[in-house]
Structure 1
Amino acid sequence: MFDTLRTQFRSLAPAVDFCALRIVDESSEQIMVRQNLLQPLTTSIDRGAMVTIMHRGGYGYAATSDLTVAGLKDAIARAQAWAVASAGRSVIDYSTIAMPRPTGRYASPVRANAPEASRKDLIALLMRESAACQIDARIVDWSASIGTMSTRQLYLTADGGDLEQQFSFVIPNLSVTANQGADTQTRTLGGQYNGYCRQGGLEVLNDAGFYGSGARIAAQAIELLNAPNCPTGSMDLLLMPGQMMLQIHESIGHPLELDRILGDERNFAGTSFVTLDMFGHFQYGSPLLNVTHDPSRGEQFASYGWDDDGQPAEKAYVIRAGVLERPLGGAISQARAGVEGVANARACSWNRAPIDRMANLNIEPGSSSLEAMIGSVERGVLMDTNVSWSIDDSRNKFQFGCESGRLIEDGQLKGVVKNPNYRGISESFWRSLKAVGDASTVDVMGTPFCGKGEPSQVIRVGHASPACLFANVDVFGGQD
């Protein structure tokens, strides 16, 4: 199919300043067992193309699921009409933007020794983990699921650009809910947002700790029922990667998206407390904070070789030693703002135009072991796995809750606490960072559910992070 479309597109492309075709061919399957019952399998196939045209300063695009010659002709005509109509009326003269004409290939890494499993094998695995959840009569709901997805993407420009990228995704999850009287507690494998989603093959299941997770997660849910509520007060807070993922996403990722800073998202997803004049000097966090945008890290959920406007992916610091260096903005937003960004113009599918999206946004590991961080705390709480979040529309003031917590007293890890929550303000929170875990504390997380844009786009994001220790955070628990 791709070879045919290459030939057809180049024969149909009009004489304009820039013309590109992005084709997406995606298939997915979701297998779930709930309370030992196999749920209806969900499968989908999604295939289509987006035409982008820039001409005489105007910009237009059009999508189609009709990949015949007639369908491509129609999409090209519509995109060209929009480019003509917008010329001289846009926020920027698009003729000033040098769009890439890239060539190359990219594929998700799959380990040579990755296990193979049929659909029957995966159902049997889910049945075993589901059955293993039933360790106590107080377990009232439980489920286990595995999602797989395969995506092929072709990006062509009329004047020679030719990119082909192939992605393989695995999304495991397991959830157990326990109840006793008026108290209900849920524990999950990686959070309700499918935190252990990664690129690769079925080796992802082993990396995520899926095997044996049924009994383990169920035991943690029962443990929460028996635990006291999290204490309230100002204290040290040790966040594990399962919560750091959400903290990075909401209070670094979204506020640094350049189209949001430029005001494009104000009507729907909000603005940002970050302004263009902050880049290069603003102290976003403590000197221990180093944040990178790294789509080249293959096993992460949002890795790629090039973004959807053809910019090559590379690792870039957005915050270094606590100082804000660059925003998360693709080629078009960079030209509008006059600042250097990253390769992150991304679309959720063929029927959406690329916009500025975080991809793999990671905190670089530090030098502290988990034991050393715990040992440095006189009074605090360790929290893991996000369960709730609230943040204002400028991504500044926030309140987050976790599934599980552990008290830390006089340098010792103590008992489990339930309903742990904390609140803060983004810049003062990150400036309170007083220790960053070493490589042994890092976990690779992500989510398939990052929403943004009008019309809405729900996209894949990756976050790798070590455990991190923060000082004097406002911590609070549930009601006794």
Structure 2
Amino acid sequence: MNLKTLLSSVDIKVDWIGLRKVEEKTTVRRARNGNLDPLAISYDKGIMVEILMDGQFSYSGTNDLSAEGVQKAAERALSQSKRLRDYRLFSFESAVRPCSTGTYKTPIKYILESSKAHSLNELALHISKSLRVDDKIINTSAAMISIEQEISFISSNGSDFTQHFHQRAFHCSATAREGSNIQTRTNGFSLGQGGDEFFDADHLSREAFRIAREAIELTQAEECPAGLYDLVLMPDQLYLQIHESIGHPLELDRILGDERNYAGWSFIKPEDFGHLQYGSPLLNVTFDPFVQGEFASYQYDDTGATAEQHYLIKEGVLQRGLGSLESQKRSGIPGVSSSRASSWNRPPIDRMANINIEHGSSTLAEMISSTESGILMKTNKSWSIDDYRNKFQFGCEYGQLIENGKITKTLKNPNYRGVTTPFWHGLKMVGDASTFEIHGNLYCGKGEPNQIIRVGHATPVCLFTGVEVFGGGAQ
């Protein structure tokens, strides 16, 4: 049955009801040390029934897509709502589930026919082999992930929309050894929305060659020094800095305390919005669901709220949070259309989507030439941040020492630490459009029960002043 028929067949008395169907197929192609792993394909499909009764939302998911299965799920949701009505925190109206109609589809150039899909297996195998550029390379891997997802939503107040996403990701890794010194270099993760044109053989092969050469380079590199330095962060590291020290602390459910038992709280207070100088005046951060190719671009969130671009931080001042219409009602804080669920068997909660730093006017060469004593860092290796998303520490795979405006040597095991707002206040230069790159995260975890969701982050290169830097042996 289609969703309209299923919705009309549900026989319960509620103030509002919505059905969200999610169908997803994930294909993973992986090769290690010149050998293909077995092809991994997962397929998932189901419906989340959501109801509003007496101001209380309740949910029940089912993978029985018959009318009987959906009816039973609706009855479970209503029964749960009745049991919990005395414990509700807030009384909602159906206005927090707006009426939305339309379609969204990832712009793509092509999808390989099934008869030609084996060429992607061959590409993963080729890259795994090509990473072994020298006998010093002792381990290689290449992985290519294809995700096809369709989300359909229909509700009793007229919502009827469908979104079809095509998402791709590529990862490669090379480990080099010289004597007892072992170093691993990866591409982090290249990912985005698009078709199989994402897996461009020439581009991925060039990436693999660079990664392998830099792994060997790191085995001969000096340890990163310790001290206060200017810090040039490349986009493949800066995206995670955005994720951890801007995205998560701005989630309204954290600020309200909903996530404190598992994912933690936030140092941000409700009264900070519109007033807090989060960073330097060069810091402009947007929630932007319309960047073509970015991982979390969409037209509607999972409650039906229409996507709109908004500044979260403008000229360094905090403007908006990341939160659903429900969280906005509860907190009185302006939010964005970012209530998202990881699958059909999870309710939507406040999540990140595309959180980006807008580009500035400086070139990478200008940043380097303006730096007397600094370190450039690439590609995240480790991270740690406290429950309030305030104090943090990041390790990177690859560093370069900058002395008197020039890069002088490669450094291994570069790390840096700081406190969120002082760190962003140290933002000195923001890269121009030529330095702007799209990145993101396949595995952002949050919520009880846990939800793993995919997010996007786009950013230029940025230069920070007075950052505490240290090497792998420092404490």
TM-score (norm 1): 0.96
Change (3 A) 1:75 1:208: farther
> CA offset at residue 442 of structure 1?
0.6
C-alpha distance in structure 2 between counterparts of 1:286 and 1:208, whole Å: 40
With 150-159 and 424-433 compared, the bigger mean Cα shift is at 150-159
Q: Could you tell me which of 302, 305, 311 is aligned with 1:308?
A: 302
Change (3 A) 1:13 1:230: farther
With 213-222 and 352-361 compared, the bigger mean Cα shift is at 213-222
C-alpha distance in structure 1 between counterparts of 2:83 and 2:171, whole Å: 47
Q: Could you tell me which of 327, 330, 347 is aligned with 2:341?
A: 347
> CA offset at residue 123 of structure 1?
1.5
Structure 2 residue identity aligned to 1:385: T
Structure 1 residue identity aligned to 2:22: V
Which residue matches 2:440? 446
Structure 1 residue identity aligned to 2:124: L
C-alpha distance in structure 2 between counterparts of 1:307 and 1:92, whole Å: 21
Q: Could you tell me which of 321, 330, 343 is aligned with 2:324?
A: 330
Change (3 A) 1:206 1:13: farther
Q: Could you tell me which of 245, 249, 254 is aligned with 1:251?
A: 245
Q: Could you tell me which of 402, 414, 435 is aligned with 1:408?
A: 402
* 8 A Cα contact 1:58 1:85, kept in partner: no
> CA offset at residue 478 of structure 1?
2.3
Alignment of 1:368-407 (within 5 A): 368-407=362-401
SS of the equivalent of 2:344 reads coil
Which residue matches 1:186? 184
> CA offset at residue 66 of structure 1?
0.4
* 8 A Cα contact 1:449 1:458, kept in partner: yes
C-alpha distance in structure 1 between counterparts of 2:259 and 2:202, whole Å: 34
> CA offset at residue 5 of structure 1?
2.7
> CA offset at residue 179 of structure 1?
1.8
Alignment gaps of 5+ in structure 2: none
Structure 2 residue identity aligned to 1:11: S
Structure 1 ranges of 4+ moved more than 6 A? 114-117
C-alpha distance in structure 2 between counterparts of 1:456 and 1:99, whole Å: 23
Which residue matches 2:138? 140
Which residue matches 2:26? 28
Q: Does 1:477 align with 2:475?
A: no
* 8 A Cα contact 1:32 1:126, kept in partner: yes
Which residue matches 2:151? 153
Q: Deviations over 1:302-336 (max 9, x none)?
A: 11110000000111100000000011011111111
Alignment of 1:30-45 (within 5 A): 30-45=28-43
SS of the equivalent of 2:31 reads strand
Which residue matches 1:106? 104
SS of the equivalent of 1:216 reads helix
C-alpha distance in structure 1 between counterparts of 2:184 and 2:218, whole Å: 8
Structure 2 residue identity aligned to 1:229: E
Q: Could you tell me which of 73, 81, 84 is aligned with 1:83?
A: 81
* 8 A Cα contact 2:339 2:350, kept in partner: yes
* 8 A Cα contact 2:16 2:94, kept in partner: no
C-alpha distance in structure 1 between counterparts of 2:292 and 2:72, whole Å: 37
Q: Deviations over 1:346-390 (max 9, x none)?
A: 000000010000000000001111111111100000001101001
C-alpha distance in structure 2 between counterparts of 1:116 and 1:199, whole Å: 18
SS of the equivalent of 1:440 reads helix
> CA offset at residue 96 of structure 1?
7.2
SS of the equivalent of 2:204 reads coil
Q: Deviations over 1:137-169 (max 9, x none)?
A: 221111111110100110000232101000001
C-alpha distance in structure 2 between counterparts of 1:172 and 1:341, whole Å: 32
C-alpha distance in structure 2 between counterparts of 1:28 and 1:314, whole Å: 28
Which residue matches 2:197? 203
C-alpha distance in structure 1 between counterparts of 2:290 and 2:80, whole Å: 34
Structure 1 residue identity aligned to 2:390: N
Which residue matches 2:228? 234
* 8 A Cα contact 1:271 1:394, kept in partner: yes
> CA offset at residue 124 of structure 1?
1.5
Structure 2 residue identity aligned to 1:153: I
SS of the equivalent of 2:254 reads helix
Structure 2 residue identity aligned to 1:200: G
Which residue matches 2:360? 366
SS of the equivalent of 2:209 reads helix
> CA offset at residue 265 of structure 1?
0.6
C-alpha distance in structure 1 between counterparts of 2:452 and 2:169, whole Å: 15
Alignment of 1:209-288 (within 5 A): 209-288=203-282
C-alpha distance in structure 2 between counterparts of 1:102 and 1:208, whole Å: 42
TM-score (norm 2): 0.97
**What is the RMSD computed on CA atoms of the aligned residues?**
1.6
With 246-255 and 151-160 compared, the bigger mean Cα shift is at 151-160
Q: Deviations over 1:273-313 (max 9, x none)?
A: 01101000100000000000111223111111100000001
> CA offset at residue 213 of structure 1?
2.7
Q: Does 1:426 align with 2:420?
A: yes
SS of the equivalent of 1:416 reads strand
Q: Deviations over 1:28-51 (max 9, x none)?
A: 110101001110111011000101
Alignment gaps of 5+ in structure 1: none
Alignment of 1:62-73 (within 5 A): 62-73=60-71
SS of the equivalent of 1:408 reads strand
